[in-house]
Amino acid sequence: MREMKRCLAVAVALIPALAFAPASNANQSPVGCTGSNPVVRFATETMNQLDSFVRPGDSIVLGARISNMGSSACDLSEISVTVRLPASDGTPGEVRTLASDVDLAGGAAVEGFTEGAPYVVDLDEGIFNAPLSISWQATVHGGDQDTVISGEGTGLEIKLTRPRTSLQIEADRYSGGPPLTVGFTYSLTNQSPASNTGVGGPSLAPGGTGGLRDLLSDAACAPLVYQSGDQPSLVGEPALDPGETWKFTCSRTFLLPGTYESQPLITGSSSVDSRPWPQPASGFIPVTVFGSDLTITKSHEGDLLAGGSGTYEVLVSNSGSLASTGTVTVTDQIPEGLTVTAISGEGWNCDLATASCSRADSLPVGGSFPPVIVDVTVADDPPSLVTNVATVSGGGESVAAGTNNDASDPTKIRKPTQPEPPKGNVFKVVGSTSLGNGMVSLKVRVPGAGILIVDDAKKIDLVRATRKKTRKSGNVKVVLKANRQLRRTLARSGASRKVKIRVSFTAAGNPPNVSPISAFRQVTFDLRPPA
């Protein structure tokens, strides 16, 4: 009985102790924390992007930093972070979730959550500022009942700049026969609007190397000469300020028939964000040089064999702006070591003695006559390399248009004792495409496995030598890059440049006495993106 009374007394004594013990001990993490709100803001990458002006169309990376490092901070769980994007009129718009169900211990911080789609700046005309806000919610473990808390983080402001120019190009004549001399006048106006907060529009600071006002060039005419329009600048050095119009002039003599359109390029930067200025719109009135322009190509397949025979194909086309008129004549200038045995072509009147063919029908613009086929025999002891040249004349084209009226076809000749190159698809440069940024894509058809090398045919410092291993016959794509010297030339002139390249192929297993197969090609390098 005495023992039972003693137990009851101990139980009664414990009741007040349990009643006054901190109830938070049950779920407190870490034990003894009193809790404080986390600090939530945008990620450093986002802040850095919005630290300066942005432009319409810019992509803003959205990310967040969550810091739970307050004094006596409790663990947090189920953290979610959302951002409110601006609507197109600059008012608060769409809500996007950056993070959800994140756990973060007291005394820790985490930054990131940038995996989602970026925000693309798209504000209405006349809107130059818009808010970007960030909110959070979390469960805090600070007592015997978890508590859900929420709040606003530190927001950011989007500050917009809208650099804008208009360009008018006028010619003193838009058509005529070659040679056609045309004078161009360029009027470049800075139409950048001022912001609704009183910040003025950006000035266009020249970035060319041809003088203080070198900010405009044209791949279709050079050099452009500044004439007038510059007023005392808002930024010290000469600059095209908002509202100003600078005028430039240029003259060019067009020799070949065809249609020519201006290709202007602005070389300069904005005074507000120091980024390159946007390029002007295209769609300028072209200049048309009337007349036919006959071109000619000549080709053959493989190497010729001493004492054997071969065949050449000659193709005449019209790249001008008018159909050809009158008689067109093709003449094959056969080199030493080859003898013509036959020459013919559908619709052509051919003479074996002169190795020439002619016809009087009209060739439309962009069209080609049926090919002329030239059969030859090879001498028993010929040179190892000969060049067969074909020319075209007539068709009513002007003398000035005759600069592209011949075609050369270098031909290798092997002796019967020399190994034969691999058979299969013919080795041929199929085509080239300018990629802009000083690069050209080249498509080459190779006859089999081997090594393909592409390099400058004249100066090795203009194009980076490119080497590619092939495994089988077929088309191979090679990307050529302009070297530093050529890139400087392109940047300085603002125009494209044609470079003659040599494409060589060495078949796998070729003995040393068998030379590589080679072909030559003119390709166009340009720093501007393709139209």
Q: Give the model confidence (pLDDT) of 207-244 as tens digits.
A: 888 778 899 999 889 999 999 998 876 556 899 999 99
Per-residue CA distances from 267 to 215, 217, 353 (Å): 5, 8, 58
Q: Are 404 and 439 in the same domain?
A: no
What residue ranges in 415-508 does DSSP mark as E strands?
428-436, 439-446, 450-456, 466-470, 474-481, 497-507
How far is residue 220's CA from residue 444's CA, in Å, rounded to a whole number?
29
Structure tokens at 335: 């080199």
Instruction: Indicate if the pLDDT at residue 520 is higher than 90.
Output: no
User: What was the pLDDT predicted at 22?
Assistant: 32
Q: Are residues 408 and 440 in the same domain?
A: no
Distance from CA of residue 27 to its chain's centroid? 59
For tokens 């060049």, the residue is 387
pLDDT tier, 21 (very low <50, low <70, confident <90, very high otherwise): very low
Tell me if 419 is assigned to some domain: no
User: According to the model, what pLDDT value does residue 408 have?
Assistant: 86
Say whether both 155 and 28 belong to one domain. Answer: yes
Sign of the torsion angle spanned by Cα atoms 521, 522, 526, 530: negative
Distances (CA, A) of 352 to 50, 314, 346, 377, 487: 76, 15, 15, 14, 49
Are 97 and 79 in the same domain? yes
pLDDT at 375: 95
| Domain presence at residue 1 | no
Question: Quick one: residue 460, left, alpha or beta (phi over 0 = left, psi -120 to 50 = alpha)?
Answer: alpha
Q: What is the pLDDT averaged over residues 107-119?
A: 92
Residue 246 has pLDDT above 70, yes or no: yes
In a domain, 214, yes or no: yes
| Per-residue pLDDT tens over the stretch 51-88 | 999 999 999 999 999 999 887 889 999 999 999 999 99
Is residue 207 located within the same domain as residue 245?
Answer: yes
Q: Which residues on neighbouring strands pair with residue 249, listed in sequence order?
A: 185, 225
What's the confidence (pLDDT) of residue 472? 81
Number of structural domains (the chain) is 4
Highest mean pLDDT among 86-95, 233-242, 278-287: 86-95
What local confidence, expressed as pLDDT, does residue 424 receive? 47
Contact 360, 394 (CB under 8 A): no
The answer to whether residues 55 and 153 belong to one domain is yes
Question: Distance between CA atoms of 189 and 167, rounded to whole angstroms?
Answer: 6
Query: pLDDT band at 281, cuts 50/70/90?
Result: confident
* CATH number for the domain harbouring residue 132: 2.60.40
pLDDT in tens, 4-20: 333 333 333 322 322 22
User: What value does the mean pLDDT of the chain take?
Assistant: 85
Q: Which CATH number fits the domain that encloses residue 456?
A: 2.60.40.1940
Q: Output the pLDDT for position 5.
A: 36
- Specify if 2 maps to a domain: no
Q: What is the mean pLDDT of residues 350-363?
A: 95
Share of the chain above pLDDT 70, in %: 89
Last residue of a domain, one of 119, 142, 159: 159
What are the tens digits of pLDDT across the range 365-401?
889 999 999 999 999 989 988 988 999 999 998 887 8
Q: Are residues 272 and 319 in the same domain?
A: no
What are residue 466's phi and psi, to 5 degrees? -120, 130
Both tokens of 296, joined, read 């000619």
Task: Return the pLDDT at 7.
Answer: 35
Whether residue 197 sits in one domain with residue 111: no
Angle at 315 between CA 309 and CA 316, to 5 degrees: 145
Distance CA 226, CA 214 (A): 8
374 plus 476 within the same structural domain: no
> Which among 414, 445, 478 is the end of a domain?
414
pLDDT for residue 28 is more than 90:
no
Q: Look at 30 and 411; give whichever has higher pLDDT.
A: 411
What's the rounded mean pLDDT across residues 174-190?
A: 94
Provide the pLDDT confidence category of residue 416 given band limits of 50, 70 and 90: confident
Encode pLDDT of 503-517 as tens digits. Answer: 888 877 665 655 677
Q: Both 262 and 244 in a single domain?
A: yes
Q: What is the pLDDT of residues 158-178, one digit of tens each?
A: 999 999 999 999 999 999 988
298 and 408 inside one domain: yes
3-state secondary structure of 45: helix
Choose among 221, 215, 226: nearest CA to 172.
Answer: 221
149 & 215 share domain: no
pLDDT of the residue at 458: 63
Among the candidates 137, 159, 181, a domain finishes at 159
- Kindly state whether residue 98 falls inside one of the protein's structural domains: yes
Q: Which domain holds residue 121?
A: 24-159
Q: What average pLDDT does this structure show over 337-353?
A: 95
More confident residue, 184 or 424: 184
Residue 84 lies in a domain: yes
Of 352, 330, 320, the closest CA to residue 406 belongs to 330
Q: Determine, yes or no, domain membership for 131.
A: yes
Asked if 344 contacts 369 with a C-beta cutoff of 8 angstroms, the reply is no
Model pLDDT, residue 439:
87
Residue 18 lies in a domain: no
Percent of the chain with pLDDT over 90: 50
In b/e form, how buried is each residue of 313-349, taking b as 16+ CB within 10 angstroms? Answer: bbbbbbbbbbbbeeebbbbbebbebbebeebebeebe
State mean pLDDT over 267-283: 89
Higher pLDDT: 521 or 40? It is: 40
